[in-house]
Amino acid sequence: MVDMLIMVTINGEAKRFSIAPGDLLLDVLRREAYFGVKRGCETGECGACTVLVNGKPINSCLMFGAQAEGTEILTIEGVAPDGKLDPIQTAFLDHGAVQCGFCTPGMILSARALLAGRPDPTEAEVREALAGNFCRCTGYLKPVEAVLAAAQANREAGLSGARTKSGRSRGQARKRQ
Amino acid sequence: MNSSRSVVGKNLHKVDGYKLVTGRPAFTDDIHIPGMLYGKILPSPHAHARIKHIDTSRAKNLPGVRAVLTYKDVPRVPHTTAGQSWPEPSPYDTYLLDSKMRLVGDRVAAVAAESRAIADEALRLIEVEYEILPSILEIEVAMLEGAPVIHDEPDSTGIHDARHNVAGHILKEIGNVEEGFRESDLVIEHEYRTQRQQHCAIEPHVTISWLDSDDRLVIRTSTQVPYHTRRQVAMILQLPVGRVHVIKPRIGGGFGGKQEMVLEDICGALALATRRPVKIEYTREEEFYMARSRHPQILTIKMGFKRDGTLVANKMSVLATTGAYGSHANTVQGNTGSKVLPIYRTPNMRFECNVVYTNTPVAGAFRGYGCPQGYFAQESVMDEAAHKLGIDPVELRKKNMIRLGDIDALSAELGEGKKGLPRHIRSCGLPECLDRGAAAIDWVRKRKEYSEAALSSRRHDSHLRRGVGVACSMQGSGIAGVDWAAASLKLNEDGSFNLQVGAADLGTGADTVLAQIGAETLGVTLDKMIVYSGDTDFTPFDVGAYASSTTIISGGAVKKAAEKVRAEILRIASKMLETPADNLTCRDNMVVTKCECKKSVSMTDLAYYAMYKEKVQVMENASHWNTDSPPPFCAQFAEVEVDRETGLIRVLHLVTAVDLGVAINPMQAEGQSEGAVAQSLGYGLTEEMVLDEFGRVINPSFLDYKMLGPKDMPKLTTILVETEEPLGPYGAKSISEIPINAPAPAVANAVFHAIGVRFHRLPIRPEDVLLGLREKRAC
Amino acid sequence: MFDHIECFYRPGTLREALLLLRKLGKRGAIVAGATDIVTRADRSPRFFIDVTHLGLDFVRKNRRGCAIGAATTMMALEKSPITCRLAGGILAKAAATCGSIQNRNMATLGGNLANASPAADTAAVLLALDAQLVVDGSRRKRKIPLAEFYIGPHQTVLNGELIKEIVIPALPGGGRWGWSFQKLGRTETDIALVNAAAGLQADSRGRIKWARIALGAVGPMPLRARAAEKLLIGNALSEELLARAGEVAMGEVSPINDGRASANYRREMSAVLVRRALRECACHAGIPILD
Ligand SMILES: Cc1cc2nc3c(=O)[nH]c(=O)nc-3n(C[C@H](O)[C@H](O)[C@H](O)COP(=O)(O)OP(=O)(O)OC[C@H]3O[C@@H](n4cnc5c(N)ncnc54)[C@H](O)[C@@H]3O)c2cc1C
Ligand code: FES
Ligand code: FES
């Protein structure tokens, strides 16, 4: 067995790892101290090991490290890099969607991929997006509510941004009158 | 409930929420320790066998292998793995390593190696010659004369009748049930069977153990019972208790599966043998073989009623298996009686059970702790009785249910492995649960509408039928006279408090709820509480997270400790503000006068004063236990749709109305309920560990052991029916277990309403539905 | 778990991949999405050859039909406008049931077929669509009808070859067309206990001219229910005919007992799914079903 080098971008940082050819991405990431990537089953069922590869959720326990060469990976550690929570994270706290928190990184990443492509998802779409993330604690209601709330918060942030802009211009217009 | 409260009763964020949503390394396995070895257990391939010969030399010689242990290398100390208070009511029938194998997956040997791959390879190199013994896989044959004896070792203790494989036996009668049946107008008797369900916490069992710089054995582990584990590991490894340090970090779910010493003893033994840090983590497959599960039961229940619905006699006989070892054998089954039968008043009750050994996966504690089995049987019969008597199922329950002021005598007979304490009902919201739950599911209208729909001849392609059903349950809140907890509180300069509790938050939100109780009592905001929990060196004793005890017992300890700290704070403030202490109160992170003078001192100023002027550490601890176990109550309603062609049951709506006392954090309480419901629906419909004829689990993966996912879950409605429990801190009882009891029978009853078929076995699989429909058509 | 792997090759051209296949022989295994490779018990290969960089992820349409690259993911099939329109979108529908989004982002069509699970969801659909596989070996290129591809559970006729693309021939023109894909699982996200795909073409009077019924998870490999298809040809649909077709199909399956379901249940469900599939085809095609 010859070790191989892979180059990946993780949470915006270029990284170079020496791995064994049969290493699974999950093991590589945890070895590199991305502990937010959890090990729940190693058979692609539970989604605790979810990371985003080029923006898409995948189970890192079913992907070889070698397959990740050249990709951009987002783990939970990269979701709030400066400590400022993503609206999904805030919504998870507001809605009591976290119990033990073991499934939470995977859920948040799945939700993030969903909202990136579908800012206004239906409840069914949220449930589909979370279908690969088993949670034994919550019964899924609160996580689903949290994702819907985060979507709304995102939209409102977008809207209110627009609103304050237009509000300001209206105010300026008034001033000019 | 009480609007004057500022922290209790509020939907505050979890105190550990931030680190969990940001994925901080907070769980057992989220550390790297230099030089850490990987431990691995060689599982027995046979259900029942004796090791005739075992040769570990090839494994030991494999480069990178640091230790190989077999029964020859470790002390032989009979013990139980059940995390219960000393002296544990479970039999001492388990050994760190043994020469006899009692289930597929039993420990043959353990290795520690430099990598996971080397450990795996080492297991393959261990040569074992077995004498294969006849095994027992079926519950019914275990007690038969001539059956193989699973525990024939002389040194095990506490087994009821080892020669007949009976781990535990209980028989209690109040009144005279046979007389009761003679007086009854309607007697219903059936046998029910429940399956082996697994906890399936998403975080598998994982333990890391090492010797610290004082050569004390440190065990960092995913456990619900750090203190019991410390005591048990010390005993098994023959160390003084003080030489063991157990740390419980964040836990990725437990549900009872971690109220059990599953890995800590063997991991500690490997750390001692190698003097290196050792980690053992179960794979998901190993979880199914080597962790715990819910006790399968065969329940025979007989209930007698008067024509008007009055329950006259209730008799339940249980034959359960604890698998190969008797972990929680007596107490789980005792609960099947003591927490199920008394929900309905009757002068005549009888509960009998035998818990037998079989060569199958070991059962143990599991959320609900014997109640889900009992309620499936009892609530099915209640539904049948209502149907036969022509009484609405809700009304029949209301007519018979236990009431405020009642004393439940059966629970006194069925204590934690011994005679317990009689249970007084000091708070009871069950009638309100039934009313509000019925309203939420639109009971009256749907009962009628769906019954009529089933009768009317519909289009021939209409294979779907709907129904609604109800079931009730109660639970306890802590084990009366047994469970106890301690808490310690310390004031810091900035007016924050270190709250140290032995209680084990395993994802239940215990840290948050305990902090809320402390903050409320001290008049501070929740962010002032720094919680540290579940560490045997740094937190005081607590029995651990089980028996729905944390809020009421650990919470009681926190409240007491906080009251003591408050008294000390008021004493100091009284000096500072020159006013009597009884004119002072704590509020908004300050101490303020009650009178009009409006003097105040901030908690920060007070802390500085205390620490640097008075030179005292404001710090108190307190212990707490209860003489009673106040039951929470619950009514659950299910609406289902049954596909009569495929047999698939879809749950459309599940309503839980639960009397939990006062909700310390309502949002978290709802979450507990919703999670319990999800597990119970799985119990009712899809979850079952299936064994083959050799005792092997044929579905040891999430692919084949089916839990419900986000797309399967029905609409959930959770109604918190608050009552004020005098024995609970701020009126709280408990929430985390009770909602798991009744969803499965509520679904079964709803399925009967939909298609007129009763089921006596869980889970209700599509094939069972089709078979039931066929049998119904035939007669 | 894969510590014995000596090298993970990521060839960038088909030629390189084929050379590696030849050089490594039985010691080399093709990896696409890896979702089956990792979870399967077979630990014999010592080399992996990644086929996801060979330009085999495409969905193309021309007059002769539709061609899909073997390395196309389930997610891409679900989203491709071509597969969403092709045959009532049943291939897209089937792809959308292959596990979670995480799985479908990795799982490929070629892997689903080559893995040769009797329950593979796209296989039943592609059987109903008369699909052919274009495979390339070091020596020769050949076209294999999917119906001749399987030789047993997890066994195919592939011999040191890789699947390049899947070709779905254009369907005969005219008439009314209807399609259906049905899957029965214990939960919403499950391996099929039974799956079924069906296609019908009817003439203007509602008589069936062309029929395909394929079933999965009810035999050692995905299969066509040819007798049931035959029963339909030349007839107008009626409830009775649908029921008979279901029963005939039930006679063509040979399921096994496993932990997921019993053989009996699977057999019975073949009839139910065939009936449902035909009903859906009729509904989509506007073919009347007589009482
Ligand atoms: C959790 C989970 C759920 C699943 N659910 C479903 C489901 O519902 N329905 C379903 O059908 N499947 C399901 N699968 C199975 C799996 O995802 C699919 O079969 C998938 O399409 C396999 O594709 P892959 O690219 O991942 O294959 P790989 O694992 O990469 O390969 C599978 C096999 O095919 C061979 N192979 C791959 N590509 C080629 C090629 N181009 N030429 C020749 N041989 C090739 C490989 O050598 C290997 O033997 C599930 C799997 C998991 C883990
Ligand atoms: S650990 Fe990867 S899906 Fe469970
Ligand atoms: S919060 Fe525990 S598994 Fe989801």
The answer on C280 and C224 residing in a single domain is yes
> Which has the closest alpha carbon to C150: C83, C214, C84?
C214
pLDDT band at A159 (very low <50, low <70, confident <90, very high): low
Q: In what order do the strands lie in the sheet with C208-216?
A: C176-184, C194-202, C208-216, C223-224
pLDDT higher at A173 or A112: A112
CATH T-level assignment (fold) for domain B484-625: Aldehyde Oxidoreductase; domain 4 (3.30.365)
pLDDT tens per residue across span B374-430? 999 999 999 999 999 999 999 999 999 999 999 987 887 776 656 777 899 999 999
CATH number, residue C66? 3.30.465.10
C2 in a structural domain = no
C291 in a structural domain = no
Smallest CA–CA separation between C271 and chain B, in Å?
10
Residue B779, pLDDT score? 82
What is the tally of structural domains in chain C? 3
B226-237 helix and B264-274 helix, angle to the nearest 10 degrees: 50
pLDDT tens per residue across span C84-129? 999 999 999 999 999 999 999 999 999 999 999 999 999 999 999 9
DSSP string for residues in chain C: --TT--EEE--SSHHHHHHHHHHHGGGEEEESS-TTTTTSS-----EEEE-TTSS---EEEETTEEEEETT-BHHHHHH-HHHHHGGGGHHHHHHTTSS-HHHHHH-BHHHHHHTT-TT-HHHHHHHHTT-EEEEE-SS-EEEEEGGGTEEETTEES-SS-EEEEEEEEPPPPSSEEEEEEEEE-SSSS---SEEEEEEEEE-TTSBEEEEEEEEESSSSS-EE-HHHHHHHTT-B-BHHHHHHHHHHHHHH------SS--HHHHHHHHHHHHHHHHHHHHHHHT---B-
Contact of B115 with B279, CB cutoff 8 Å: no
Residue A175, pLDDT score? 37
Structural domain ending residue among the three candidates C111, C145, C169 = C169
C1 in a structural domain = no
pLDDT band at B122 (very low <50, low <70, confident <90, very high): very high
Instruction: Tell me the C-alpha distance between C80 and B473, whole Å.
Output: 51
pLDDT higher at A163 or C48: C48
pTM of the model: 0.96
Q: What would the 3-class secondary structure string for C70-117 be?
A: CCCEHHHHHHCHHHHHHHHHHHHHHHCCCCCHHHHHHCEHHHHHHCCC
**Would you say residue A172 has pLDDT above 70?**
no
The answer on C263 and C241 residing in a single domain is yes
Residue C228 Cβ < 6 Å to ligand 1:
no
Quote the tokens at residue C106. Answer: 């990795």
C260 in a structural domain = yes
Smallest CA–CA separation between B483 and chain C, in Å?
40
The answer on C144 and C84 residing in a single domain is yes
Ligand nearest to the CA of A105: 3
Contact of A85 with B28, CB cutoff 8 Å: no
Position C193: which residue type? L
Q: Which atom of ligand 1 is nearest to the CA of C35?
A: 26
Could A56 and C75 be called an inter-chain contact, meaning their C-beta atoms sit closer than 8 Å?
yes
Structural domain ending residue among the three candidates C169, C192, C218 = C169
For chain C, the chains sharing at least 3 beta-carbon pairs closer than 8 angstroms are A, B
Contact of B640 with B465, CB cutoff 8 Å: no
* Count of Cβ atoms closer than 10 Å to residue B44 Cβ: 27
Residue A167, pLDDT score? 39
Quote the tokens at residue B306. Answer: 């008067």
CATH of domain B37-133+202-253+258-290: 3.90.1170.50
C13 in a structural domain = yes
Quote the tokens at residue B256. Answer: 């009872």
Residue A66, pLDDT score? 97
- Lowest average pLDDT, out of A18-27, A44-53, B447-456, goes to B447-456
Q: Tell me what percent of the residues of chain B surpass a pLDDT of 90.
A: 95
Residue B3, pLDDT score? 64
Cβ–Cβ contact C3 with B under 8 A = yes
Structural domain ending residue among the three candidates C124, C152, C169 = C169
Within chain B, what is the greatest distance between any pair of CA atoms?
A: 88
pLDDT band at B2 (very low <50, low <70, confident <90, very high): low
pLDDT tens per residue across span B471-525? 999 999 999 999 999 999 999 999 999 999 999 999 999 999 999 999 999 999 9
Q: Tell me what percent of the residues of chain A surpass a pLDDT of 90.
A: 85
What lies within 8 Å, CB to CB, of B624 at 6+ separation is B484, B485, B486, B487, B553, B554, B556, B557, B559, B560
* Count of Cβ atoms closer than 10 Å to residue B652 Cβ: 14
**For residue A85, how far is its CA from the centre of ligand 2 (angstroms)?**
25
Q: What domains are there in chain A, each with its CATH number? A: 4-78 (3.10.20.30), 87-156 (1.10.150.120)
CATH number, residue C41? 3.30.43
Instruction: Tell me the C-alpha distance between C2 and C12, whole Å.
Output: 23
Instruction: Tell me the C-alpha distance between C43 and C88, whole Å.
Output: 39
Smallest CA–CA separation between B661 and chain A, in Å?
20
The answer on C165 and C107 residing in a single domain is yes
- For domain B297-478+628-778, the CATH architecture is 2-Layer Sandwich (3.30)
Instruction: Tell me the C-alpha distance between A64 and C5, whole Å.
Output: 11
CATH number, residue C190? 3.30.390.50
Query: What b/e string do you get for A21-40 counting C-beta neighbours within 10 Å, with b at 16 or more?
Result: bbbbbbbbbbeeebbbbbbb
Instruction: Tell me the C-alpha distance between C148 and C126, whole Å.
Output: 12
The answer on C141 and C66 residing in a single domain is yes
pLDDT tens per residue across span C48-85? 999 999 999 999 998 889 999 999 999 999 999 999 99
Beta bridge partner(s), residue B746? none
Residue B416, pLDDT score? 63
Q: Tell me what percent of the residues of chain C surpass a pLDDT of 90.
A: 90
Task: Provide the domain limits for residue C17.
Answer: 7-50
Residue A170, pLDDT score? 38
Residue A158, pLDDT score? 83
Domain ranges of chain B: 37-133+202-253+258-290, 297-478+628-778, 484-625
Of B461, B698, B767, the CB nearest to C261: B767
Give the residue whose CA is nearest to atom 4 of ligand 3: A135
- Are the folds of B37-133+202-253+258-290 and B484-625 the same? no
pLDDT band at B269 (very low <50, low <70, confident <90, very high): very high
**For residue C258, how far is its CA from the centre of ligand 2 (angstroms)?**
24
